Amino acid sequence: MTGLINSRISNEVLHNHASLNPQMFYGWNINHISRTSAGLKVLGWALPLDGLVDNTFLYCNGVRAEMQFETDTVVEEMFPTWPNAGAASFRASWPQLSGTRAEGLLVFDIRAADGGMLPIKHRMMFDFSDEGLIVVPDADLISHIGATPPQMFIQTGRTLAMQFDAALRAVHGKGFESQTAVLEWGCGPARVLQHIKHLYGDAMSTIAGIDVDSVAIDWCKSRVPGVEFKTCELNPPVDYPDASFDVIYAYSVLTHLRKRDAERWIEEIHRILRPGGHFIFTTLGVSSLPWLHPSGESSIETALRMNGIYDGAKNTDIDSVISDQDYYRNTWVSDRYVQSIWGEGFDIMLSEVCFHHYQDVWVFRKR
């Protein structure tokens, strides 16, 4: 097993949530983006850096916004230990980014008053042209992957696609554009996969998505051309021969599987991945607890310390489309567990805390 590229919060000593370094854990989000003749405008929220509202600024393509912060009790309830979280809601505007100046890729990032930047992983990406390219499902289908407004569906998909590409590029030297066969495991309504196709799919001979959600797959088949979609069973095998794909990626899939089901799927991923191919996936680790359980959750922490995995929390998001009502969970894992149990047969190339909001990312390479 290779050494990990990025340092992580150790699961040997579970940190007090309030003491977590914001450079590893940080919360912010974009709720809406608009452009008019008066400029670019963004609504969202951002935890005050160092607890100071006047130390927190949103930038777009390197240009600092005019910021107005407002009271937000929802964010305060989400992060009760973060100083001044109740003032996290913002209105940001860029009068100088009007009309065509707001075209193309928009990269948003949070910086301190002195210009100090958070790590690249905390950036968010959006392109208004995506609104004419990306097909957005109705609210009911979106709810299968967590309720989100249509524009956020597009913005999150773009951000994740580019983040996954960056993770692959970091360990391989090349991104998705150099791959011939790519699979998204747990594609849902193709929130990420549509962007992978549009941004990187020109040279790919196979772009595929599988999911246990037959409703989402049927929608994808009728609305997203140029991608092979298949419904899979709750457990392997899948309808692909050995060594079918160069890259398999999964966002928030192993975060929802029981211990035994996850192990079966890891073996199946290994089977259909080509030698030297990469498996990119996200997990919930201890670094997610300040976001998901800010007041502490001793049962999760104890399970991670003792067993390396906690899969005892039921999730009902897709109960309407699966037969086993105990199948879908909220699952946390320790670093040691991922390395020792899931890492068999792979080299671990990259591991990064809070890759996207509170989810960590791993890149495995098949031996």
DSSP string, 149-197: -HHHHHHHHHHHHHHHHHHHHHHHSS-GGG-SEEEEET-TTTTTHHHHH
Q: Please give the span between the terminal C-alpha atoms of the chain, in angstroms, as a whole number.
A: 10
Say what the pLDDT of residue 182 is: 98
What are the sequence ranges of the domains in the chain?
A: 27-117, 137-366
pLDDT tens figures, 254-265:
999 999 999 999
Q: Considering the domain 27-117 in this protein, what is its CATH number?
A: 2.60.40
Say what the pLDDT of residue 119 is: 82
Say what the pLDDT of residue 292 is: 86
DSSP 324-359: -TTSBEEEEE-HHHIIIIITTTEEEEEEEEEEETTE
Query: How many Å apart are CA 256 and CA 269, to the nearest integer?
Result: 16
Give yes or no for a contact between 294 and 80, defined as CB atoms under 8 angstroms apart: yes
Query: How many Å apart are CA 249 and CA 208, to the nearest integer?
Result: 11
Say what the pLDDT of residue 24 is: 62
Give yes or no for a contact between 206 and 182, defined as CB atoms under 8 angstroms apart: yes
Q: Name residues of the chain where pLDDT drops below 70.
A: 1-24, 147
Q: What's the CATH number of domain 137-366, 1.10.1040.10, 3.30.1520.10, 3.40.50.150, 2.130.10.10?
A: 3.40.50.150
Say what the pLDDT of residue 37 is: 86
Query: How many Å apart are CA 350 and CA 307, to the nearest integer?
Result: 23
Query: Using alpha carbons only, how large is the chain's radius of gyration in Å?
Result: 20
CB-based contacts of 313, cutoff 8 Å, min separation 6:
329, 330, 331
Say what the pLDDT of residue 138 is: 95
